[in-house]
Chains A and B, each alone.
Chain A
């Protein structure tokens, strides 16, 4: 460049940068909020670790004093129960959520769509105690279905009846609890996926339509690929909710030992185990409950990290 830029001579004494009071207050406040989150998380983790310590110590010296004869023997069935119930809930809820979200964003008549959206959001507002009550009522109606499953699909371990051919007569089984969980996590997954679908770039949708795509083909070409990462994170958030859900499971499930069958009484989840036993627990028993709380904390942490990893991997670049 031939033109000379106006010369920039650094002033002899640097003038002080202007500090605006509003900006300073705002940045301090946001920083404080950010630090507070970290402190709370660290506090919870430390509390759980500290309170679980007696159990870990007992595991080393006298495992027989722990319920179930050892920490891992105690926590193992609970982990399985928690994961299985959450997994079934996801398995049931995800297709429905996808369907409802697609229907409300791309298929429903324009007058019906918002009504449906509100209804879904209302589902999220129902307290879990109410879901628990409703699940108890539902349970007894499911018994004939479970009996049918046990009769015709009893050879599959998850539908197996007991040795004398019986199934739970109250219907308060793992399957019922999981189904209620599915309904509980449905709204959160649906509304998150709906938000993602609403943000599909119009240009992408029109690109598909202009090629002669039908509505379903347009959804497959433009809406779903764009929403993949959003769908994944919605499912993971639903999983997080299902893992930690306490009240409904505690009320519905007639808990017991770990069993593969979902149509018999038995099994237990971590959150429900804590809620049911906490009021009478003291001493080592209390530490046990807190230690399984720590396990749940770690599981949800892993789930969330996995969710982040999936989102980072699948998010659509460009556009």
Chain B
């Protein structure tokens, strides 16, 4: 489980506005890829095209191709619902379903896939997903309590458990630690390290140390100015991006000499 992703000449529009222009990149399976760049550069937008979530915004559309193991997810006839079942997503703020228990939260996606789970299967699956998200030991005694009772970091790991419970091919993370304290952040980063053995992970982050810590490859996005489209400036091994980038723009950004 885990697919490679090829983005070919991707343009992303919001109505008439060209938000992101000319993205092409190849993402290896079983790796962590970080998207970095200033606010508004389109990195989250690109991430959201990988599971067709940007279409939720009215008027948004794309040109170009996004291939998962060679299959274009934007080909006519492809149902975005099926794409999203293969590509899990974790959001900036933890969003467990408030009316569901911890266990039901984990199983929410599985239940959607119309599988009728026996009780023991459900228990096993919930345990496996929660262990996979390093949360099992903390919640095993209160699986039937609401997920909203957990701490912020635990809630975020619950959301990761929910995402991996459906055994996706790819896991997208949109600034998953931006609302968390350093200790919870560390827990999530450790988790990302483990997740890459099984999944293709793509993470958007504002925190460059985080990108350096967790990712194998890093993509730097930038924007020429307000109203201009965001572009992929450089996509390289993470070590190289942070030590010896090809482009001066990248060097300026990662060293803090911005603009």
Contact = CB atoms under 8 A, between A and B. Distances in A.
A and B held together in a complex: yes
Interface of A: 110, 201, 203-214, 217, 221-222, 225-226, 228, 316-319
Contact of A222 (B51, B56, B58, B97): B97
Given A213-B112, A221-B108, A204 B95 contact: yes
Contact of B53 (A210, A226, A316, A318): A210
B39 interface: no
Contact of A319 (B81, B89, B148): B148
Nearest to A213: B112
Nearest to A228: B99
B144 interface: no
Given A204-B97, A208-B108, A318-B148, 11 more contacts: A203-B91, A203-B95, A206-B91, A209-B56, A210-B88, A210-B89, A211-B84, A211-B108, A212-B81, A212-B113, A225-B98
Contact of B99 (A207, A208, A213, A225): A225
Q: Which of B93, B108, B159, B162 has the most CB of A within 10 A?
A: B108
Nearest to B51: A210
B82 interface: yes
B33 to A, nearest CB: 18
A209 B84 contact: yes
Contacts of B89: 210
For the complex of A and B, the 9 pairs showing the least CB-CB separation, nearest first, are A318-B148, A212-B85, A211-B109, A210-B89, A225-B99, A212-B84, A203-B95, A207-B95, A319-B98
Nearest to B58: A110
B158 to A, nearest CB: 11
Contacts, number: 75
A299 B126 CA distance: 48
A221 B96 CA distance: 11
B81 A213 contact: yes
Interface in B90-117: 91, 93, 95-100, 108-109, 112-113
Contacts of B22: none
Contacts of B99: 225-226, 228, 316
A20 to B, nearest CB: 38
Interface string B108-141: 1100110000000000000000000000000000
A212 B148 contact: no
Given A210-B84, A317-B148, A318-B146, A226 B112 contact: no
A207 B96 CA distance: 8
Contact of B91 (A207, A221, A226): A207
Nearest to A211: B109
B73 to A, nearest CB: 13
Contacts of B109: 211-212
Given A204-B95, A204-B97, A225-B99, A209 B53 contact: yes
Given A110-B58, A212-B81, A221-B108, A203 B146 contact: no
Interface string B153-171: 0000001001100100000
Nearest to B99: A225
Contacts of B146: 317-318
A74 to B, nearest CB: 46
Contacts of A319: 95, 98, 148
A214 B95 contact: no
A137 B193 CA distance: 72
Nearest to B172: A210
B189 to A, nearest CB: 21
A169 to B, nearest CB: 51
Contacts of B159: 207
Contacts of B113: 212
Contacts of A318: 98, 146, 148-149
A13 B41 CA distance: 59
Nearest to A217: B112
A212 B95 contact: no
Interface string B53-77: 1001010000000000000000000
Q: Which of A206, A209, A210, A221 has the most CB of B within 10 A?
A: A210
A206 B81 contact: no
A217 B23 CA distance: 33
A217 to B, nearest CB: 6
A300 to B, nearest CB: 30
A212 B97 contact: no
Nearest to A203: B95
5 contacts: A204-B95, A204-B98, A206-B53, A212-B85, A225-B98
Nearest to B113: A212
Contacts of B81: 212-214
A252 to B, nearest CB: 41
A191 B95 CA distance: 27
A228 B99 CA distance: 10
Contacts of B56: 205-206, 209
B86 to A, nearest CB: 8
A208 B85 CA distance: 11
B91 A212 contact: no
Given A204-B97, A225-B97, A317-B98, A211 B91 contact: no
